[in-house]
Each structure stands twice: as C-alpha cells, then as structure tokens.
C-alpha cells in the first residue's frame, strides 16, 4: 500500500483515527460521525440512495464504500481529491455532511479530556488539523476486504466456486465485458466512465468528472467503484438509482443510457436470463471478510 512520507501507518495513529471515525464530536451538532454513513456492518457504506448528513440534509451522491481505499489513486466519485489526507476532512467541513469548520474541530479535540494525550501518543504533539487528517487517513487505510470465495478460487482452490459461479466468472471476463473496468486485485481501474446513469431529457443531473476537468468528453463520467462486497452495498451507482445487482446487470445488458459521451465500451450485451443469473451469482462471491484497525 502506498504511504505518504509524512504519515507512516502506525498502530497509534490508526487507533486514534478509528476513535475519531466513530465519534460524533466532528459534526456541528454532535449528531453524526463518519461511521453514520460509512457503516461497518454494510461494508462501510449505507443503504440510502443519497448521503444524509446533519439536520437530515441530503447530498447529491451515494455514499462510497471505503473498502481498500488505501490503494486508491483519487477520491470521491469525481476524483477531485488526490490523497486520503486531503479527502478525510472534506466530509467534516461539507455543509451537507458534518458542517464543522476544521478550526472548531481542533478546538473541540483540544478541550476534550482524553484526545490531547492520544494525539501526543500518536504524533508527539497537541491536536491540530494536519494530524487530524493523518489519523483519519491512517484508519481508512486499515479498512480492508479480502479472502472472498473468488480470491480463494483465483489462488487455486477450484472448489471455492460452483459451476454456475464459474460460468458467471467467464461472462464477467468475456461476454459481459465487466473486466474492462473492474480489473486487478481491487476490481476497479480507478478511472472514470460514462454509462449514462443520470442522463434525462438531454442532460445529466450531475456532470461528474466534467466539473473537475472541464473536458466535455468526461461529462457524466464517474469513477469505477470496487466490486468487493458488492452484494452488501445496494443501492448502486453514484446516485443510488439502481436497486439490485440484477437491475445493474439489466442496465449494462441494455447498453446503458445513450448520450453523447457514452463510454465506448458500453454496448448491448445480449445476455440470456441464465447468463444474467450466473453473473449475479459470481458477483456474490466477491464478498470477503472485512477487517479494520491495526491493533488486535
């Protein structure tokens, strides 16, 4: 896992980040924490189509899951942030999420009876904005999913998948064309693609990557999410508009939603009902064990 030179991954920093992640002290009214939306029981996301923050304010996009994000190359659905250290404070200051200024967060932590000693243990100094980011980023790097039945199959345990699931894997790699974007150990290319989701009446409800780069060809493009634990993380897509895995498969089978910037790899697939069922069965084998934190 790549690590920044000024934030080595230590048990002390990860433990502090974990405590902060679950503590509503970082929201303006102390009503929500990072874990409110990134629920460990749901593979560190939630079951809502759009994020809901303080005072029931609704955000524009689905909560992304945090599994294996230490391997990420950019963050948020539009990839606007390049590092975890920069990303982790964005929900804190976002008015639709936690709505707390970083200076206020640091003041709260400094006044707390416990946190100053924990910051000193982790970083050798009093609470400050940079170390708050370092602690949270360290914890997020420990949130990992692996050892799925798919992983065991790839490692040589051929009995880990049944005949239907193996057929689904063949479709995933072949006729379904899924592996074009969902590839590698983390089952994502970390790139941005337009599948037509959110395109209605000649325009996108959310311009996605275009808002970051200004490149017209990236209007409506969003980052490929990891498929790890995908069966546990409905609803799907950046806007939570697709309810089930079967519905996702149908959408791709139909060739997405036509629009001027539709990714060239999105096309009608012609899957049979049996092939769709096999593909869905395979996707459910991607659910692995999730662990978090460095200390036992």
**DSSP secondary structure of 130-199:** HHHHHHHHHHHHT-EEE--HHHHHHTT-GGGS-HHHHHHHHHHHTTT-GGGTS-TTTT----EE---TTE
- Per-residue pLDDT of 267-288, as tens digits, reads 999 999 999 999 999 999 999 9
Compute the distance between CA of residue 51 and CA of residue 62 in angstroms, rounded to an integer: 6
Which pLDDT band holds residue 125 (cuts at 50, 70, 90)? very high
Q: What is the mean pLDDT of residues 137-159?
A: 97
Domains and CATH numbers, the chain: 11-142 (1.10.760.10), 147-288 (1.10.760.10)
Asked if 238 and 78 touch (Cβ cutoff 8 Å), the reply is: no
Q: What is the mean pLDDT of residues 98-106?
A: 98
- Per-residue pLDDT of 210-233, as tens digits, reads 999 999 999 999 999 999 999 999
pLDDT score of 202 more than 70: yes
pLDDT score of 78 more than 70: yes
Asked if 35 and 285 touch (Cβ cutoff 8 Å), the reply is: no
pLDDT score of 295 more than 80: no
Share of the chain above pLDDT 90, in %: 99
Token pair belonging to 182: 């969902």
What global pTM score does this model have? Answer: 0.96
- Residues listed for the chain: 296
pLDDT score of 141 more than 80: yes
CA angle 52/107/39 to nearest 5° reads 30
Q: What pLDDT sits at residue 27?
A: 98
pLDDT score of 296 more than 60: no
Q: How far is CA 117 from the centre of its chain?
A: 31
- Per-residue pLDDT of 14-44, as tens digits, reads 999 999 999 999 999 999 999 999 999 999 9
Q: Which residue has the tokens 């379904």?
A: 176
Q: What pLDDT sits at residue 294?
A: 83
Token pair belonging to 256: 């997405």
pLDDT score of 49 more than 60: yes
């Amino acid at each position: 896992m790549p690590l920044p030179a000024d934030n080595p991954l230590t048990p002390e920093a990860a433990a502090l980040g974990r405590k902060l992640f679950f503590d509503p002290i970082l929201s303006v009214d102390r009503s929500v924490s990072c874990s409110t939306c990134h629920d460990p029981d749901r593979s560190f996301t939630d079951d809502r189509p759009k994020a809901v923050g303080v005072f029931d304010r609704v955000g524009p996009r689905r909560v992304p899951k945090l599994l294996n994000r230490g391997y990420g190359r950019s963050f948020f659905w539009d990839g606007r942030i390049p590092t975890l250290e920069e990303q982790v404070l964005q929900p804190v200051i976002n008015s639709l999420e936690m709505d707390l200024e970083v200076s206020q967060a640091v003041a709260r932590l400094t006044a707390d009876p416990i946190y100053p000693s924990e910051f000193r243990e982790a970083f050798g100094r009093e609470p400050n904005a940079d170390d708050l980011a370092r602690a949270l980023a360290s914890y997020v790097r420990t949130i990992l999913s692996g050892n799925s039945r798919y992983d065991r199959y790839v490692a040589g345990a051929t009995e880990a998948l049944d005949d239907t699931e193996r057929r689904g894997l063949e479709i995933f790699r072949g006729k379904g064309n899924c592996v074009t974007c969902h590839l590698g150990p983390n089952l994502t290319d970390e790139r941005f693609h337009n599948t037509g989701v959110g395109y209605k009446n000649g325009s996108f409800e959310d311009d996605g990557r275009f808002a970051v780069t200004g490149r017209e060809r990236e209007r409506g493009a969003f980052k490929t999410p990891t498929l790890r634990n995908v069966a546990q993380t409905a609803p799907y897509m950046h806007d939570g508009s697709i309810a089930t895995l079967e519905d996702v498969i149908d959408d791709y089978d139909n060739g997405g939603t036509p629009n001027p910037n539709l990714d060239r790899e999105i096309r009608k697939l012609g899957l049979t009902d049996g092939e769709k069922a096999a593909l869905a069965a395979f996707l459910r084998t991607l659910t692995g064990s999730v662990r978090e934190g460095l200390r036992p």
